[in-house]
Each structure stands twice: as C-alpha cells, then as structure tokens.
Chain A
Amino acid sequence: MASMAAWGGGSAPYAVPSKKLGMWLFIISDALTFSALLVAYSYSRIANPAWPTPFSFSPAIVLSSIMTFCLLSSSLTMVMAVAAAHRHDRGGAVKWLLATMFFGLAFVVLHANEWMHLIHEGVTPFKNPWGAPLFGATFFTLTGLHMTHVATGVIYLGVIAWGFGRGRFESMDVEVSGLYWHFVDLVWMFIFPLVYLMSIKTG
C-alpha cells in the first residue's frame, strides 16, 4: 500500500457508488442545458427594448410563489424519504416519496393553470399582445422543459417508491432519485426570479 500515501483515492477516488456518480454527471450536463436556455432567454430579453412584463400579482405571482413553495417542500419530504430509506424504514420512505410526488404533481397542475392564463391572453411561441414576439418562444421552451423534468421526476419517484416498497431497490436508489429531484427544484430557483420576478407587471 505504498502507493496509497501518494494517491489517497485508491480505486474509488470519489467514494461514491457508480449510480450516484452517473446521476451527478447527468445533472451537470442537464444543468448546462438549462443554463443555455436561461442565457438564451436573457440574451433575447436584453436585446429587445419592447420585452413584455405581463405577470400581475394575481394570478401569476401568487401562483408561481405557491409553486416555489411546493417544490421547496417536496425537496424537504425527499430528504426525509432518503433518511427513512437509509434507516431501512420501507413504509416511511414510501410515504415520504408519495408526499414528494404529491407536491410535484401540485406544481405541474398549478403551472399548467398558469400557462392556460397566458394562452388565453393570446401568448403563443411566435407572438403575444404586448411586444417582442420572442417572449413566448423563450418562456414556453424554458418553463416547458422544466415542467417536463418535474413530470418525469414524478414518474421516476413513483417507480422508485413502488420498487423500494416491494424490496426490489436499495436505499441508494432512493438517494440517487433524490439527487435528480433536488436538481429540478434547484433549476426552478433560477427560473422563478429570472422569468417571473423580473417581469412583474407594474402600473
């Protein structure tokens, strides 16, 4: 073990299972996808003087604040699920996972509701009643991709809850699904201020 002194990592330098490392690598690449979309949104916004600021207090800001609350709380229930899974408390882990899925579903329903409001006001990806036509394209792409991630996450957690409840998955699988879920929450922490709070309707 002479080599251990120079290279303390041994054969597992990150000391995580390959599943966890794989999820982290996916998260980094997905983070870059979302960064690119956020940068594209910001670029269009800076470059267009007539960028619309359509979000009034009710319903848009109230709804999106509640959606933020749902995602943050779902992250809390998710860490509880992981803690329960590591305690080998199968029932508890499944219960917390179901709570996480409930908050995730609430987010999707509220967000779809918010989309319908905008669509009724005449926003499409190619035009809107207020100004720069790119607003719709960037808004729907960015929030749509995020909503897809939340919906996928709810299905993913459902599979994990089912499998873990039946003893087919180990606690590490719950933890890895948690990493994905927290990442989806994290992305919303940037979409919410940049898309909603920077575009509050004034006057």
Chain B
Amino acid sequence: MSEQKGSKIYIVVWFWLLLLTAVEVFLGYKQLPVGTMLTLLLGLSLVKAALIIAYFMHLRFEQRSLTLTLMPPLVICIVLMIVFSFPDGIRLLNMRGGG
C-alpha cells in the first residue's frame, strides 16, 4: 500500500476545497446578477461535492457498479425536484408582482 502517497492526495484535495470556498466567498461580494451568481456558486459547489465524493468518500476507487447504482437515481430525483418546483416559484413571484 502506498500510504504516504495516499495522504498527499488528501491534503491536495483539502487545499483545493479551501481554495474553491475562498473563491465562493469572494464571489459573494461581487455585485453580480442573481442568476449568474447562483450558477457560479452552484457550479463551484458541485465541483467541491464531486471532490469530496470521489476522494474523501473513496467512491473513485470502488467498483464502477457501486457508483452507477448510487449516483444516477440521486441526480435524477434532484433534477425532478428542481424541474417541478422552480418554474412554479417564478410563477408565484410574477403573480405577486415581484421582479
């Protein structure tokens, strides 16, 4: 087992997670349009989530069958939730006369 090498990659991943978090906080103080900001922050968070799942939770080094069983249903369910609820939220906003 290459234990030392293993520790090194975890520290590199941790460093990247901290860096991406710093970028997110920096973006929070930029006066960006809400849609752009949401897209950027969610995009960065998805990258961070992928790093945590792949390396810290070790899924990259498990059988591919485990990943393929766990991830697609999760993604499909979340996408369905978003697809069904967000347009309705925007409809409510328009009915209430908001931006």
Pick out which of these stretches binds chain B: A116-124, A135-143, A156-164, A183-191.
A183-191
A152 on interface, CB distance cutoff 8 Å: no
User: Are B62 and A193 in contact (CB-based, < 8 A)?
Assistant: no
- The reply to whether B85 and A79 contact each other, CB–CB distance below 8 Å, is no
Please report the C-alpha to C-alpha distance between residue A169 and residue B38 in the assembled complex, in whole angstroms: 43
For window 45-99 of B, CB contacts with A under 8 Å fall at 45, 48-49, 52-53, 56-58, 62-63, 65-66, 69-70, 73-74, 77-78, 81-82, 85-86, 88-90, 92-93, 96-99
Q: Are A76 and B11 CB-contacts (below 8 A) given A83-B6, A182-B57, A197-B28? A: yes
List residues of chain A with CB within 8 A of the CB of B78.
32, 35, 39
User: Which A residues between 43 and 100 are near B, CB-CB below 8 angstroms?
Assistant: 43-50, 61, 65, 68-69, 72-73, 75-76, 78-80, 83, 86-87
Size band of the interface chain B makes with A:
35 or more
Count of chain A to chain B residue pairs whose CB atoms are closer than 8 Å in the complex:
140
Task: Report the minimum CB–CB distance from A172 to chain B (whole Å).
Answer: 12
Secondary structure type dominating chain B contacts: helix
Contact A197–B27 (Cβ < 8 Å): yes
Residues A9 and B65 in contact, CB atoms below 8 Å apart = yes
Nearest-Cβ distance from residue B47 to partner chain A, whole angstroms: 10
Number of chain A residues whose Cβ lies closer than 8 Å to a Cβ of chain B: 55
Closest Cβ neighbor of A72 among chain B residues: B17
Chain B's nearest CB lies how many Å from the CB of A156? 16
Q: Give the complex CA separation of A189 and B56 in angstroms.
A: 14
Answer whether residue A167 sits at the interface, using C-beta atoms and an 8 A cutoff: no
In the bound complex, how far is the Cα of B85 from the Cα of A15, in angstroms? 38
The A interface is mostly helix, strand or loop, or mixed, namely helix
B86 and A87: CB pair below 8 A? no
Contacts of B53 in A (CB 8 A): 182, 186
Contact A194 B41 (CB under 8 A): yes
Asked if B66 and A16 make an inter-chain contact with CB atoms under 8 angstroms apart, the answer reads yes
User: How many angstroms from the CA of A183 to the CA of B17 in the assembled complex?
Assistant: 14
Q: Which residue of B lies closest to A49 (CB)?
A: B98
Q: Which residue of chain A has its CB nearest to the CB of B85?
A: A43
* Minimal Cβ-Cβ distance residue in B for A183: B57
Whether B96 lies near A49 (C-beta < 8 A) is yes
- Chain B contacts to A: CB under 8 angstroms: 1, 3, 6-7, 10-11, 14, 17-18, 21, 24-25, 27-29, 31, 34, 37-38, 41-42, 44-45, 48-49, 52-53, 56-58, 62-63, 65-66, 69-70, 73-74, 77-78, 81-82, 85-86, 88-90, 92-93, 96-99
5 A-B pairs closest in CB distance: A49-B98, A46-B89, A47-B92, A197-B28, A193-B41
